[in-house]
Structure 1
């Protein structure tokens, strides 16, 4: 029956046949590779795996790789800062997920509920069991809005003055609040702990500060940064420069101040400090909420004690030898580096090479992730500090030999963030054809 169906499919165009084959394959019980999550990491690595086998002359059949994700839309989340700064429309940051999954990948529009690594299978919310030869987990993390009492109510109120760039539904509210504020106190927060792109909370602050200054409101609006962290940034080189910038611009710095609740009617925010709590009045409040691992991963056999998928920080393979066919990358992983889209561009080729090598030879390759990540720190309209670093919080800059020390904000970096990166993301990265600092050249690894 499958042979007859295959002949019928191949009578049409190869792309159409591949799509129908992958669609039919989505009903299978087992796949060569199952990728859980269709975000930046999931789509990128699924395509890179398919491309890697093809380049080695060992092409997988359409439908051998399945992506499991029930989401209707895929979001370019780094773009939400641009929306909050009035530089993009928020509808430019999302596309229908099914439009981004190519013909050679099977799409299972369900969410995984449980992992059963001992039987090499996952179970979806509908109860469907899906087997795999290799599993790649790329589910991202969760944003814990409800852990700050009063936050969800304030975000839903158009006139509250409270907003956040950390969701599609609220990122445009950020710009409305910034653009309409005429006087008062603008506060920008960052939580203690792990979050997506740890520089984002102050990116939007710098853009707001510059907007206030350029429109003649700089003298009537004060800007303060309240962060649960002990410094402006984790990498000392960039942190020192950002702190000097903060002082030069007259922005207040309140460190180890963690937002724990807010009263939007009274326009009062409560922060926890080492000495107790402190209440602060605000006119505008931008909140970066606490984040953490997804609940269905936290209690699973593949998670570490903190709830992240436990993987080797170099190979991206699971740390438990019994689960050697489990891999992870991106925000859901235990990798000790910043959780950014740029990190995905360095992680995906390593994971791909090692997975391919295991399938091909039974052993991991010499591909090793060094912790590279990047945080394009907007410091105002037309300027950006491009922070790039690796494990150990050591700078690893791509352009310093050409443009000079990247601690200096530059307009060239600004336009990379504003125009080039979104274009590359949609056109090349999600298709597995972009490798970050390597551009279009897939990294090779010594054997």
Structure 2
């Protein structure tokens, strides 16, 4: 997520929510600081100047920025997960190139010291009374609300998809969740011969490039292990295009052609028949028409949608996403509510790179609103997707709201490059943990100007 998994973050955002953990009062020591957490009972203080919902990329980033602005005691974050994951690296975990352990850190270690961590799940958002209710009955009121709840994965919407613990047996994987990403590697490692099938659902997704990144890595792995001649690689996408930005799509079509990968557009996965190792796709252009693909390996990108707390609140648009102004990230109807990352209806790709660029704009917007001034900086829709095309090459796609390339480097970024792979695998994780999450990285905008001598 500069960075793209799927929200990094989430990202955003980058919400991976394991089972809720037993709630308890505890104080986690961070160096010499204390990080306060609260739970089932209202703490001595349940009103905050700024309340942040979600502890993924967007939530942690904004809580760090708000702490600097208003002091730790005036900021609280609601997040149930004990672990925070850098999801963009899961592309490489699924391909056996990185370990899952390297992608996660305890939430306590990324929470800004002194900010209150409410270790619970958001149950209800009531913007008319400036109140949020958590699933353990706690009510928290706020002056300003930042919603960074990421999105929801809906594996259950694919008929016949077996329980996750049986995926290895049925040769199924998915790079989109902490429970399933290692199963992708198992399926790839155990591949013998036949079809390797990759899906892209008919919903918004986080990191739209991720479903094909694992496809290119599968091709590379099978070549390396001498199995490629016995494999047929199939990419079935619900989209009418291979990639949303023509410049990069053209480059990807070349790669697909050269590597003998079969791409089928407007195909949506609706059913899995694990005992027969079959995947059923519907043709979105011909309702009612389906096609069955036998597979030796199946990578599932699940349908995704808004989280229920947002969807069921008056903050949602007609589709259930957080309804924000695309320039300022301020809510369209509630002026003291703001959004960032995958939970919003911003018309750009949901990536951690987008979160980085949004965070600096949102920081500025909030400062202006609090002074009763008009926001004076606009978010241009910047997002980035490092398209991993092998174990050592990346096409670095960067673009804006209009799907126009918005490239940082003064080179043609539609070409596969080793330097960009190094950036994806080694530089970006460092930038994420030590820059973005500390509220110190607002995207490459300023550097782009320098690199292009002020021309972009």
1:162 to 2:175 alignment: no
1:373 counterpart = 2:369: no
What's the counterpart of residue 53 of structure 2? 36
Match of 1:5 in 2: none
Is 1:149 equivalent to 2:159 in the alignment? yes
**Contact 2:37–2:117 (Cα < 8 Å) also in 1:** no
Which one of 89, 92, 95 corresponds to residue 82 of structure 1? 92
CA 1:325–1:222 in 2, change beyond 3 Å: closer, same or farther? same
Q: CA deviation at 1:207?
A: 0.4
Q: Deviations over 1:157-177 (max 9, x none)?
A: 322111100111111111121
Which has more radius of gyration?
A: 1
Deviations 1:338-364 (A, max 9, x none): 0000000100011111101211x2123
Shift of 1:416: 0.6
Structure 1 residue 279 displacement after superposition: 1.0
Counterpart for residue 402 of structure 2: 392
TM-score, normalised by the number of residues in structure 1: 0.89
Q: Which stretches of structure 1, 4 residues or more, deviate above 4 A after TM superposition?
A: 13-26, 438-441
TM-score (norm 2): 0.87
Aligned residues: 417
- Structure 1's unaligned 5+ residue stretches are 1-12, 54-59
Residue in 2 that maps onto 1:338: 349
Q: Which residue of 1 aligns with 2:74?
A: 64
Superposed displacement of residue 440, structure 1: 9.5
Matched, 1:176 2:183: no
Q: Which residue number corresponds to residue 265 of structure 2?
A: 255
1:56 alignment partner in structure 2: none
Displacement of 1:26: 5.7
Indicate the structure with greater helix content.
Answer: 1
Q: Does 1:315 align with 2:328?
A: yes
Q: Matched residue of 2:396: which SS?
A: strand
Do residues 352 (structure 1) and 359 (structure 2) align?
A: no
Map of 1:19-418 to 2, 5 A cutoff?
19=35, 27-51=44-68, 53=69, 60-153=70-163, 156-273=166-283, 274-275=285-286, 276-320=289-333, 323-359=334-370, 361-399=371-409, 401=410, 404-418=411-425
Deviations 1:222-279 (A, max 9, x none): 1111111111111111112111211111100111010000101101111000331111
Distance 1:169 1:153 in 2: 11
Q: Is the 8 A contact 1:433 1:440 kept in 2?
A: no
Structure 1 residues 27 and 209: CA distance shift in structure 2, 3 A: farther
Residue in 2 that maps onto 1:424: 431
CA deviation map 1:359-401 (0-9, x unaligned): 1x212331210000000000011100000000111110001x1
CA contact (8 A) 1:45 1:349 kept: no
Equivalent position SS for 1:260: strand
Q: CA deviation at 1:104?
A: 3.0
Distance 2:105 2:150 in 1: 18
Cα shift at 1:428: 2.1
- Which range moves more in the overlay, 198-207 or 267-276? 267-276
Shift of 1:182: 2.2
Deviation at 1:73, TM superposition (A): 1.1
Q: In 1, distance between residues paired with 2:395 and 2:75?
A: 38
Give RMSD over aligned pairs.
Answer: 2.3
The SS at the match of 1:428 is: helix
Does the CA-based 8 Å contact 1:185-1:284 persist in structure 2?
A: yes
**8 Å Cα contact 2:37-2:119 kept in structure 1:** no
Q: Secondary structure at the match of 1:422?
A: helix
Contact 2:37 2:118 in 1 (8 A): no
Question: Residues 113-143 of structure 1, C-alpha deviation per residue, up to 9 Å, x if partnerless?
Answer: 1111111111111222111110000000000
Contact 1:22 1:105 in 2 (8 A): no
SS at match of 2:73: coil
Please state whether the residue corresponding to 1:278 is helix, strand or coil.
strand
Structure 1 match to 2:9: none
Gaps of 5+ in 2: 1-28, 451-456
Asked whether the 8 Å contact 1:18–1:62 carries over to 2, the reply is no
Cα distance in 2 between the residues matched to 1:311 and 1:126: 28
